[in-house]
C-alpha cells in the first residue's frame, strides 16, 4: 500500500496544495518503510472504513436484484427469439415471406443485451470495491487493528468500532 494511503486513515494528516499530503507531526511528506510508528486512528479511519464498507454492503444487497434482472430479461429475450422463429415458420408454410423475423430477432437480442448491462456493471464495480475493502482490511491487519460496524447507526463515528486485534508479546 502506498504511503499516502496510510495517511488517509491517520489523524495527523494535513494537506498542502503546494506539497500535497503532509504529516501533521513533522510538517513533511511521510517517510517510512512498510508502516508508520506514529499513526493514530480515529475519525479519518472511521470515515474511510464506513465509506468503503457501506459501498461494499450496498453492492452485496444489489446482487439478488441484478441476478434477477439478468434471468428475467434473458428469458424474455430468448422467448421473443423462439416465438419469432416459430411464427416465421408458420407464416412461411402459409405462403407468406416477411422481414418481421429480422425485427423479432433484433428485439430478442435487445432484451438479452438489456439483461446483461446491469450485471456487467455490477461485476466491474464489485471487483473494484472488493479490492478496496481487501486492501483496507490488509492495511488494518498490518497495524494489528480490526473493526466492527453497526450498519443501523447513521453516524459513522459511533457506527465503527476500532480495536486492537492481537496482543503484542514482549
The whole-model pTM stands at 0.73
| pLDDT confidence of residue 8 | 80
Strand locations in 17-72 (E): 20-23
- Is the confidence at residue 96, as pLDDT, over 90? no
Region 94-105: mean pLDDT is 84
Rounded distance, CA 44 to CA 20, Å? 17
Beta bridge partners of 10: 41
- Parse the chain into domains and list their residue ranges: 53-142
pLDDT at 18: 79
Higher pLDDT, 69 or 17: 69
- 160 touches 141 (CB < 8 A): no
Residue 35 has pLDDT above 70, yes or no: yes
116-169, pLDDT tens digit by residue? 999 999 999 999 999 999 999 988 888 888 899 888 888 878 888 888 876 544
* 3-class state of residue 162 by DSSP: strand
Those residues with Cβ within 8 angstroms of residue 34's Cβ, 6 or more apart along the chain or in another chain: 142
DSSP sequence for 112-123:
HHHHHHHHHHHH
Tell me, rounded to whole angstroms, the distance of Cα 154 from its chain centroid: 20
Q: What is the pLDDT of residues 41-93, one digit of tens each?
A: 888 888 889 999 999 999 999 999 999 999 999 999 999 999 999 998 898 88
Amino acid at each position: 500500500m502506498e504511503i499516502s494511503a496510510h495517511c488517509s486513515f491517520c489523524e495527523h494528516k494535513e494537506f498542502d496544495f503546494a506539497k500535497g499530503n503532509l504529516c501533521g507531526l513533522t510538517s513533511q511528506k511521510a517517510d517510512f518503510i512498510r508502516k508508520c510508528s506514529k499513526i493514530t486512528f480515529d475519525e479519518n479511519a472511521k470515515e474511510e472504513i464506513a465509506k468503503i464498507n457501506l459501498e461494499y454492503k450496498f453492492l452485496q444487497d444489489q446482487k439478488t436484484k441484478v441476478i434477477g434482472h439478468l434471468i428475467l430479461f434473458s428469458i424474455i429475450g430468448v422467448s421473443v427469439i423462439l416465438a419469432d422463429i416459430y411464427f416465421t415458420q408458420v407464416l412461411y408454410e402459409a405462403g407468406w415471406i416477411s422481414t418481421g423475423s429480422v425485427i423479432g430477432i433484433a428485439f430478442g437480442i435487445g432484451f438479452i443485451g438489456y439483461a446483461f448491462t446491469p450485471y456487467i456493471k455490477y461485476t466491474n464495480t464489485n471487483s473494484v470495491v472488493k479490492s478496496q475493502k481487501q486492501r483496507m482490511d490488509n492495511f488494518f491487519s498490518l497495524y494489528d487493528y480490526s473493526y466492527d460496524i453497526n450498519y443501523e447507526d447513521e453516524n459513522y463515528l459511533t457506527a465503527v468500532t476500532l480495536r486492537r486485534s492481537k496482543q503484542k508479546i514482549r
